[in-house]
Amino acid sequence: MSLLSLLFVSTLEAADGAAATATYGGHLQPDSGTPLAVNEQLVAGPGEGWSLQRRVVDADARTRYASTLELGEQRASWRVETGHPAQQVSYEFTPGQVVARGPDGAERWRAPLRQPLCLPELVAELAVQLDRQVRTRAGLACELPIDKARKLAPLRLRRLPDGAGGLRRYELGPGSLGMRLFFSRQILSVTADGGQLIAAEGQFEVARSLEGRLRYLEGALVYVEPRSLRALPAVLTGPHPPATGSDER
């Protein structure tokens, strides 16, 4: 199977009362090396819940990263099925709490949720949904579960000046001095109406190698066709500070 055969876009129309499925493809160009194919499948409904699957494949058709997010209003989960051994953890989110489990299903740790969750696959959704808070001078404080540290790590989401044609640009960066050792930044490009993700660049959740020390890939992701964005449930957006007009850019 060639890399190009993995770059596809298709949308399936749903019958009444059935789930709607949309599949998106793109290519992730690392800062060095050959491109990787990114395939995402979004399944919505028929109720309020929806799911997103992401699969990153190299030129030899080897899966380098695979994850599944299942989202409901009061409960959500994020599972990394394929990746570096240190990444293969599942997280369960309920209002005010995250529980991490190993591949065997045993609980590894839990922690209280105090900020919105900036999960790698859903950063664009969070940025658009909380745009009013993101565009303040301080940006939006958010959290990412890190299994190795057994805690929620601080990140910060900001809105950058718009690009050509009103293109929205968001930056996800470290939220503390300590996080700068593990995460640089990622910049996302979203359509002017906030409805679709076009591209992203910077650090990604994909490991440079599935062996040895975990080091994350940096590069640029471009979708063959912009990926539609959906509203996140309250269990992921969580509590967040109110925006004030004087702080907005």
Find out whether 68 and 121 touch, Cβ atoms under 8 Å: no
Give the number of other CB atoms < 10 A from CB of residue 3. Answer: 16
| Bridge partners (DSSP) listed for residue 91 | 78, 100
Q: For residue 124, what are its two tokens?
A: 């664009």
Whether residue 216 is predicted with pLDDT greater than 60 in this model: the reply is: yes
Whether residue 194 is predicted with pLDDT greater than 80 in this model: the reply is: yes
Please return the burial class of 177, using the count of CB atoms within 10 Å of its CB with bins 0-12, 13-18 and 19+. Answer: exposed
pLDDT digits (tens, 9 = 90+) for 70-119: 999 899 999 999 999 999 999 999 999 999 999 999 999 999 999 999 99
**For the residues 57-75, what does the mean pLDDT come to?**
95
Burial 86-111 (b: 16+ CB within 10 A, else e): ebebbbbbeeeebbbbeeeeeeeeee
Predicted TM-score of the model (pTM): 0.88
Supply the pLDDT for residue 46. 67
Q: For residue 209, what are its two tokens?
A: 């190698």
Whether residue 3 is predicted with pLDDT greater than 90 in this model: the reply is: no
Cis peptide, bond prior to residue 242, ω within 30 of zero: no
**For the residues 186-203, what does the mean pLDDT come to?**
97
